[in-house]
Amino acid sequence: MPLDVYLYPRCGTCRKAKKWLDDHGVDYNEIHIIEEPPSKDKLNDLYEKSGLELKKFFNTSGKKYRELGLKDKIKETPEEELLEILSSDGMLIKRPIVTDGEKVTVGFKEETFDEVWNKEK
């Protein structure tokens, strides 16, 4: 079953992740995170399966993140509201998000991809 990869084509990190997946023969579906941002429910599902803190799903280096002053808001805003904010704009979401329906990775680190997505091991 192919992985779902939420990415932004102009993102350098996403291109590195795609290259890694291609080089390792991993089958995947590309989902344009700006044109088709994951819904609040989908984000909640990804968040729960990832085992990560919700703040790890935010693109903290993005312009929109800074414009909305989310750095300070994240600490006291309820998760429900943070998921709503995330689902409102794909540019707020850290990318790529990769999932097989059970496991989830956010961002691209070669060691993590080797550990989680390398089928050759």
What burial letters (b/e) apply to 83-119, b meaning 16+ CB within 10 Å?
Answer: bebbbebbebbbbbbbbbeeebbbbbeeeebeeebee
What pTM was computed for the model? 0.94
**Range(s) of the domain holding residue 23:** 3-98+107-117
Backbone φ/ψ region at 4: left (φ over 0), alpha (ψ -120 to 50), beta: beta
User: What is the tally of structural domains in the chain?
Assistant: 1
Quote the pLDDT of residue 121.
Answer: 55
pLDDT per position in the chain (121 positions), as tens?
899 999 999 999 999 999 999 999 999 999 999 999 999 999 999 999 999 999 999 999 999 999 999 998 998 999 999 999 999 999 999 999 999 999 999 999 999 999 999 976 5
Cα–Cα distances (Å) from 29 to 7, 79, 97, in that order, read 10, 28, 12
- Give the pLDDT of residue 56: 96
CATH code of the domain containing 43: 3.40.30.10
User: Using CA atoms, how far apart are residues 65 and 80, in angstroms rounded to an integer?
Assistant: 18
